[in-house]
Structure 1
């Protein structure tokens, strides 16, 4: 009787295991699919491009604060140096388009300098002390955006941007990272000496964030040799930016100077173009010094001109191109251990093949990008939540 009971119990147990999908070999359930196709499986980052620059003048504390309030994970200060060597947040070394410098200083303060091989006459930050910069006020630089806030905000230093990120992050109960870009490293090298800019940046970052790959910091540059130098000095994550000037009718990238190559390549005689850094061998090269790539978004998707007015503006332009999936750059970069952060998404400028800015960002997020730069962080947050 006891033997029969044991047999019945064993049979029942076997039946239960079979109903659940099998025996010991597959008793452990299959792992759930990662919710995101990013390198780490974590949610893609929303990066406030020059702050919430779609709402307020770029690179101001007000724009950065707005980006944080909108939910940005990181805020991006582009950096240039003043005459006395202070890092300030400006998109370019030239102050003309983003400040009221022309109303504050006589035209005699303009100078002519070579910027990435282009002779440029302007008011340069490097010709003004920080005390003089403090007298300036920011203005809207992008056509079609509100000028109601022109003249209200000062030009901040990197130290002030960091303080804001930490203070506002603490108020929000979350970490807010910074994503500084070293602007025109070769240009600044000619003015201040080799790696002075890079050393100043690390001298500011290390005491605050530590020399750590886990710090909420990315350092980005369109040049290469400065990132290679930084790799020997810091564990903070580095990002190689990849530029182009336009997209051709056939969907290929247009590469015309000064957007053809990293400018330090031009100076050194290296013939590689930006696009070469996105090949398999190019990514292997980038991996020797960087943790991520930052390509302009058209590098990441295939586009086709099928003569459909997708954005409804009554014209057929490059912005109406149909998007037909990934070019493979994201997947190849991930396979080599590189993150992919792409730029720039704007509510008031239709992206290639998209009329809806939220849908555009979602498309790239679904492909697996690890971060998106956007002038409108609120839209980026909504896009992420809607995946």
Structure 2
């Protein structure tokens, strides 16, 4: 059980608005093994911790800067300086068209004084907390939409790698796991940018599972949606794909996403979800909005064994 990684997905995002420093502090106190950072660039090339290249589903940008939307009606992080971004109020995720909160039972939308922050600020916080508490909680950054940034004339990946290096994250043994959905970019990180960090190839579509051997040539792990592992139920028993077995056979670990106690899918309880995917399917790590619940689950299973 101790080898199973608990990855705080956007921080303790089941309790506080995602990717806020408050959410990260809470995840740290819950003893997650790693805390995730999704990263995009500001107009002045500052790596910003936010899930999307857009601002309008987690901030009040539409009210503060209504004239700054693009032709598609969206507000892009890359069109704002870091100073401008820091004036925005961050809230629980909502649909920008309907203004309905995505997870109604979570932190009330538009309450609190949450702000956007840079990757530098978050790493500095986590490292300082590690120093003060004696913990060794790692970071788990994701390069978001590198092709979009390249079209905008920016090399997000190179900038992020420089920041990581500045904070001492350069080797697989360092407490940093770097992830990306873009296979070409992750391969570039390994071959062209010569990174020695632990790399995770995120996979979104089931057909990508056919490329495991290729992924194993440059990545250390894969990050699939958990429904690519547990594919359904028949005669009261869960059905498992061969994804985890094949990945392990190629030396790849499996860190699956996303485990949410308020979005169980076909499972009746969160513990059933964790038992089925984390234990029965034998994955190596779980991205979760509720890191405390997964930590507690693993601690209880460890005592039982």
Task: Give the TM-score normalised by structure 2.
Answer: 0.90
Deviations 1:71-102 (A, max 9, x none): 11111111111111111111111100101112
Check whether the contact 2:256–2:286 (CA below 8 A) recurs between aligned residues. yes
Q: How many residues align?
A: 289
Deviations 1:42-77 (A, max 9, x none): 521101100000100100000000011111111111
User: What residue is the counterpart of 1:57 in the other structure?
Assistant: 17
| Alignment correspondent of 2:138 | 177
User: Using a 3 Å threshold, how does the CA distance of structure 1 residues 171 and 359 change in structure 2: closer, same or farther?
Assistant: farther
Partner of 2:75: 123
For the residue of structure 1 that corresponds to 2:43, the secondary structure is: coil
Q: For 1:103-118, list aligned pairs within 5 A.
A: 103-105=63-65, 107-112=66-71
Shift of 1:168: 1.9
Conserved 8 A contact 1:137-1:150: no
Question: Are residues 192 and 167 of structure 1, via their aligned partners in 2, closer, same or farther at CA, if it must alter by over 3 Å?
Answer: same
Residue of structure 2 equivalent to 1:212: 171
- Aligned residue for 1:371? 285
**8 Å Cα contact 2:53-2:77 kept in structure 1:** yes
CA distance in structure 1 between the partners assigned to 2:136 and 2:195 by the alignment = 21
Give a deviation string over 1:229-282, Cα, whole Å, max 9, x none: 100221101111111xxxxxxxxxxxxxxxxxxxxxxxxxxxxxx323313xx1
State whether structure 2 residue 268 is matched by structure 1 residue 355: yes
**CA offsets, 1:112-144, max 9 Å, x none?**
3xxxxxxx4211111100010010121010331
Distance in 2 of aligned mates of 1:362 and 1:335: 22
Q: Which residue of 2 aligns with 1:293?
A: 222
Alignment of 1:1-387 (within 5 A): 36=1, 43-105=3-65, 107-112=66-71, 120-141=72-93, 142-144=102-104, 145-147=106-108, 150-193=111-154, 196-232=155-191, 233-243=194-204, 274-279=205-210, 282-304=211-233, 324-352=238-266, 354-366=267-279, 367-387=281-301
**Residue pair 2:169, 2:176 contacting (<8 A) in 1 also:** no
Distance 1:305 1:111 in 2: 47
Unaligned runs of 5+ in 1: 1-35, 37-41, 113-119, 244-273, 307-321
Contact 2:202 2:222 in 1 (8 A): yes
TM-aligned CA deviation for residue 351 of structure 1: 3.2
Larger radius of gyration: 1
CA apart distance, 1:109 = 0.6
Secondary structure at 1:96's aligned position in 2? Answer: coil
Q: Distance in 2 between matches of 1:167 and 1:74?
A: 15
Q: Secondary structure at the match of 2:202?
A: strand
* Residues 216, 250 of structure 2: 8 Å contact kept: yes
Task: Determine the C-alpha separation between the residues in 2 that align with 1:149 and 1:217.
Answer: 32
CA RMSD of aligned residues (A): 1.6
Q: What TM-score do the two structures reach when normalised by structure 1? A: 0.72
Distance 1:148 1:121 in 2: 21
Q: Return the alpha-carbon distance in structure 1 between the equivalents of residues 160 and 116 of structure 2.
A: 18
Contact 1:100 1:151 survives alignment (8 Å):
no
Greater relative CO (CA pairs within 8 A, separation 6+): 2
Distance, in Å, in 2 between the alignment partners of 1:323 and 1:49 is 28
Deviations 1:4-61 (A, max 9, x none): xxxxxxxxxxxxxxxxxxxxxxxxxxxxxxxx5xxxxx52110110000010010000
User: Displacement of 1:185 after TM fit?
Assistant: 1.1
